[in-house]
C-alpha cells in the first residue's frame, strides 16, 4: 500500500512555514523554552543545507543550488563580515559575532521549505500559507485576550503592552497573497483560477489581526502600500470598503477597546510622533560613533559578551530597530557598497531562477517602507527566503509546461503553428 506523499509533507509544510516566520518568545518571555523551538528549526535548516551540499549535484534541481548561492552570500556578507569587524573594532571573539547575527541563517529555511513544497501541489502550498498564517492569528488573539500569559520582565511605556509579535510577517505574506489573488483571480505561481472571495476573506482577517492584534505600524503601512501597488484602481474599492467597516468604530469608540486596541498609545503616537525618540537617539549615537571612527566598520556586539553595546551606548541601543542605519553602523563606509551589491546579487539569482517576478517585486518594494525601522538584510531573511521558494515553484511550473509542449506529437505541433 502506497501513501500519498502530500499527506505527509502538507502538515510538515504548514509547521515549517509557521516556525520559519514566528519569533516565539520575543513578546512572550516563556519560561518553558518555547523560543528554543525556533533555534531547533534553525538547526534543521542548517542540517538540510549540509545534506544538500554533500548530495550529488545531479540529484538536486538547479533551484536548490541557486538557493545555496543565495544563502552562502547572505551568511558571508551579513554574519561573517560583521563578526570580523566587531573582532577588529572591539576585540569580540568571532563566535560571539556569529551568534549575534544568527538570524540571518533563516535564509537557509528556503531549502527545506522548497523540498517540502515540491512534494505537494501548488494549491496545497498556497493553502499551507493560509493555514500557517491562521495558526499565527490564533496565537496572536490568544495572547491578546490573556489566554497566553505575558511574562515579560519589563514593558516600556512606548510599547503596546498587550500586543503580540507571533508571526506578523507570515500574516503579511498571507495578506499579500490574498490581495494578489483577489486582484487577478489566479495563482501567482501557476496561473490557475482561484476563489476571489475566499482570498479576500483571508486578506481581511490578516489585516484586522495586524491592526488590532500585532499593532505593528510599519507592517500596516507596508500592507497598505502593497495594496496600492497591486490593485491600483481597485484599491479605491478596497479603501471604500475599509471606510465602511470602520464607521461603527468611529460612532462607537468603545468597540475599539473591546477588540483590545490600545487607543491611548495611537493617540499619543499621532500627537508626539512615531516613537518616543529612542530610535532618534540611537541614530544620533550611530552617526556620532561613525564620525569618531572615520566611518570604519564596527560590526555587532553580542549581549553574551561583556553585555554587548550597553557599556558603550547604554541599555536601549538596538541596531535591529534602526534598519539601514544599523547596517551603516555594522559596515561603515562599506555599507554604500554592501547594500547595492547585495540587492544586485539577490536580483541576479532570482532572475536566474525565473524571469517572471511581478508578484515578487511588488511584495519586496512594499517591504522597503520598513527598512528605516527594521534591518532588511539582517532581520528579514525569512521574507527573502519564502519569495525565493515561490519563485522556484513558478520556475518548476514553467519547466513542466515546456516538457508537456515538447512531448506533444508532431501532428499537434503542426496544428499549433
Q: How confident is the model at residue 88, as a pLDDT?
A: 92
Look-up of cell digits 541563517: 105
Q: How confident is the model at residue 334, as a pLDDT?
A: 92
Distance (Å, whole) CA 407 – CA 361: 33
Of residues 208 and 22, the one with the higher pLDDT is 208
Percent share of the chain, pLDDT over 70: 75
Is 172:207 a contact under the CB 8 Å cutoff?
no
Average pLDDT, the chain: 79
Per-residue pLDDT at 388 exceeds 90? yes
Q: Is the dihedral of CA 180, 24, 94, 289 positive or negative?
A: positive
Under DSSP, the state recorded for 77 is I
Is 202:150 a contact under the CB 8 Å cutoff?
no
Establish how many alpha carbons lie within 13 A of residue 86's alpha carbon, considering only the half-sphere containing its beta carbon.
27
Q: How confident is the model at residue 29, as a pLDDT?
A: 41
Task: Give the mean model confidence (pLDDT) for residues 323-338.
Answer: 90
Of residues 152 and 414, the one with the higher pLDDT is 152
What are the grid coordinates assigned to 212, written together?
Answer: 488590532
Task: Give the mean model confidence (pLDDT) for residues 54-59.
Answer: 58
Look-up of cell digits 554592501: 338
Is 316:288 a contact under the CB 8 Å cutoff?
no
Per-residue pLDDT at 226 exceeds 80? yes
The percent of the chain in helix, strand and coil, each rounded to the nearest 5, is 70, 0, 25
Per-residue pLDDT at 157 exceeds 70? no
Q: pLDDT tier at 387 (50, 70, 90 boundaries)?
A: very high
- The residues pairing with 263 across neighbouring beta strands, listed in sequence order, are none
Task: Give the mean model confidence (pLDDT) for residues 37-45.
Answer: 84
Beta strand spans in 176-320 (E): none
- The residues pairing with 193 across neighbouring beta strands, listed in sequence order, are 186
Q: Where are the alpha helices (DSSP H) in 191-334?
A: 196-209, 217-231, 234-251, 254-258, 263-272, 278-292, 310-313, 324-331
Per-residue pLDDT at 202 exceeds 70? yes
Of residues 11 and 229, the one with the higher pLDDT is 11
Task: Give the mean model confidence (pLDDT) for residues 14-23.
Answer: 85
Distance (Å, whole) CA 72 – CA 161: 38
Is 13:113 a contact under the CB 8 Å cutoff?
yes
Of residues 135 and 55, the one with the higher pLDDT is 135
pTM of the model: 0.82
Q: Give 234-270 pLDDT, tens digit per residue.
A: 555 555 565 556 655 555 555 555 555 555 555 555 5
* Angle, vertex CA 67, rays to CA 69 and CA 339, nearest 5: 60
Q: pLDDT tier at 308 (50, 70, 90 boundaries)?
A: confident
Amino acid at each position: 500500500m502506497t501513501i500519498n506523499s502530500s499527506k505527509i509533507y502538507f502538515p510538515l509544510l504548514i509547521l515549517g512555514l509557521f516556525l520559519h516566520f514566528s519569533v516565539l518568545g520575543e513578546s512572550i518571555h516563556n519560561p518553558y523554552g518555547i523560543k528554543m523551538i525556533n533555534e531547533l528549526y534553525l538547526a534543521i535548516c542548517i542540517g538540510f543545507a549540509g545534506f544538500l551540499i554533500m548530495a550529488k549535484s545531479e540529484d538536486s534541481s538547479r533551484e536548490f543550488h541557486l538557493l545555496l548561492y543565495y544563502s552562502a552570500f547572505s551568511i558571508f556578507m551579513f554574519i561573517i563580515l560583521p563578526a570580523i569587524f566587531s573582532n577588529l573594532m572591539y576585540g569580540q571573539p568571532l563566535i560571539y559575532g556569529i551568534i549575534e547575527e544568527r538570524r540571518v541563517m533563516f535564509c537557509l529555511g528556503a531549502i527545506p521549505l522548497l523540498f517540502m513544497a515540491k512534494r505537494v501541489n501548488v494549491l496545497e502550498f498556497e493553502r499551507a500559507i493560509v493555514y500557517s498564517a491562521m495558526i499565527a492569528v490564533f496565537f496572536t488573539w490568544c495572547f491578546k485576550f490573556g489566554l497566553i500569559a505575558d511574562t515579560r520582565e519589563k514593558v516600556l511605556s512606548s510599547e503596546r503592552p498587550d500586543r503580540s509579535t507571533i508571526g506578523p510577517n507570515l500574516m503579511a505574506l498571507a495578506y499579500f497573497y490574498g490581495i494578489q489573488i483577489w486582484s487577478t483571480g489566479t495563482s501567482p505561481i501557476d496561473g490557475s483560477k482561484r476563489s476571489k472571495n475566499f482570498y479576500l476573506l483571508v486578506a481581511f482577517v490578516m489585516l484586522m489581526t495586524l491592526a488590532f492584534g500585532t499593532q505593528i505600524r510599519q507592517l500596516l503601512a507596508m500592507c497598505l502600500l502593497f495594496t496600492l501597488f497591486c490593485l491600483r484602481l481597485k484599491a479605491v474599492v478596497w479603501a471604500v470598503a475599509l471606510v465602511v467597516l470602520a464607521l461603527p468604530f468611529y460612532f462607537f469608540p468603545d468597540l475599539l477597546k473591546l477588540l483590545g486596541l490600545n487607543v491611548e498609545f495611537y493617540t499619543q503616537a499621532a500627537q508626539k510622533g512615531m516613537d518616543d525618540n529612542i530610535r532618534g537617539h540611537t541614530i544620533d549615537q550611530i552617526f556620532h560613533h561613525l564620525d569618531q571612527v572615520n566611518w570604519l566598520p564596527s560590526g555587532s556586539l553580542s549581549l553574551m559578551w561583556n553585555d554587548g553595546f550597553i557599556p558603550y551606548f547604554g541599555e536601549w541601543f538596538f541596531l535591529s530597530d534602526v534598519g539601514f542605519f544599523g547596517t551603516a553602523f555594522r559596515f561603515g563606509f562599506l555599507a554604500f557598497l554592501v547594500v547595492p551589491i547585495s540587492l544586485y546579487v539577490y536580483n541576479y539569482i532570482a532572475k536566474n531562477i525565473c524571469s517572471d517576478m511581478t508578484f515578487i517585486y511588488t511584495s519586496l518594494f512594499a517591504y522597503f517602507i520598513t527598512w528605516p525601522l527594521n534591518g532588511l538584510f539582517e532581520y528579514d531573511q525569512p521574507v527573502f527566503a519564502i519569495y525565493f521558494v515561490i519563485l522556484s515553484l513558478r520556475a518548476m511550473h514553467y519547466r513542466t509546461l515546456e516538457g508537456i509542449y515538447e512531448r506533444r506529437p508532431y501532428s499537434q505541433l503542426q496544428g499549433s503553428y
